[in-house]
Amino acid sequence: MSTHISHISFNKAKDSCGCWAELRDASAKSETGCPRFAGFQSWIWLWGLSGILNAPLSHEDGAAILKEAFNKGITFFDTADIYGKAGDNEIMIGKALKELPREQVQVASKFGVYMPDGMSQVHVKGSPEYVRKCIQASLTRLDVDYIDLYYQHRVDTSVPIEETMGELKKLVEEGKIRYIGLSEASTDTIKRAHAVHPITAVQMEYSLWSREIEEDVIPLCRELGIGIVAYSPLGHGFFGGKGVVESLPSQSVLELHPRFTGENREKNKVLYTQFASLAAKHSCTPPQLALAWLHQGNDVVPIPGTTKIKNLQANIGSAVKLTAEDLKEIAAAIPPDQVGGEREYAIFSKYSYRFANTPQKK
């Protein structure tokens, strides 16, 4: 496995359908007139607000973070129908949107995963009927007329992707969604989906300690002009600071994550120490350096999540400039073959993009 896809060649990615550029430009406005879309300055991942990695925030506290984010130039909010109990995250965002100018905010949501028993069992569904049911429910919870970017959260390997995409295409035509995305999709699924309707973005786990997609997904997305949205860009909080490395937050689902338990956790602490020393060298914090490593072009957008305004401000304030040599040095500090544990929770492993091919449509 290569240590890193060339960050210095990002601008060579073509945009065959224009969708990624359209969506990027739609959220590129700020008070200063400077482009704010292409990077972590303007995207925020909101699943943590409803208590995934921590205790859930009240709607009031969650809305305060969203309003602060908007005031700082962050205009793209990422959620999903499974974030929080009974779609609580979407409801929270919907309330916050009432206090923000809707035309200046881009909302991404997702469908396709349902977990009736919490983290004990995962189900994935991508039938046209289910797509229709989910969009109506999300629009109601968000209390909006349309969703800017709508992802298939995980691929239903029992349904030809053409059938799922056919329904999503109808939703675009009906004005219920503006752009279509996929998450944890295989290269075959991405190509077939893109043939039905242009895919705007593919959301994948991508960080210093999860770099598998550099081999296949990133090159394909660049060939097709599809944006790459990197979830868990801080390694599920691992690169967020020494506190997370030393002790997990209370009520955190990370207690179930392979990289945060037992010997794997101890092994990964060594890598964190190496990385923290590099951050000091660049006069920044570990999370700022981890985000800067990802954010070196206009087709990869990391979406860090936070539950604290101070962390939000720290992420926004990161403007670390890295040379090609810096990028290599940082990548070498976290060798993929030395990371302890699988990147996914056990219950999600079978839904990895590696296994996300679908049957051919008859």
Nearest to residue 309, comparing CAs of 100, 49, 34? 49
Nearest to residue 79, comparing CAs of 49, 36, 58? 49
For the record, the structure tokens of 276 come out as 């923290």
For the record, the structure tokens of 273 come out as 């120490």
- Pseudo-torsion of CA 303, 178, 355, 349, nearest 10°? 40
Which residue is it, tokens 């599809």? 226
For the record, the structure tokens of 97 come out as 């949107």
Per the CB < 8 A criterion, the answer to whether 111 and 138 are in contact is yes
3-state DSSP assignment of residue 137: helix
Nearest to residue 154, comparing CAs of 93, 225, 214, 82? 82
For the question of residue 151 being annotated catalytic, the response is no
- Give the catalytic positions in this structure: 83
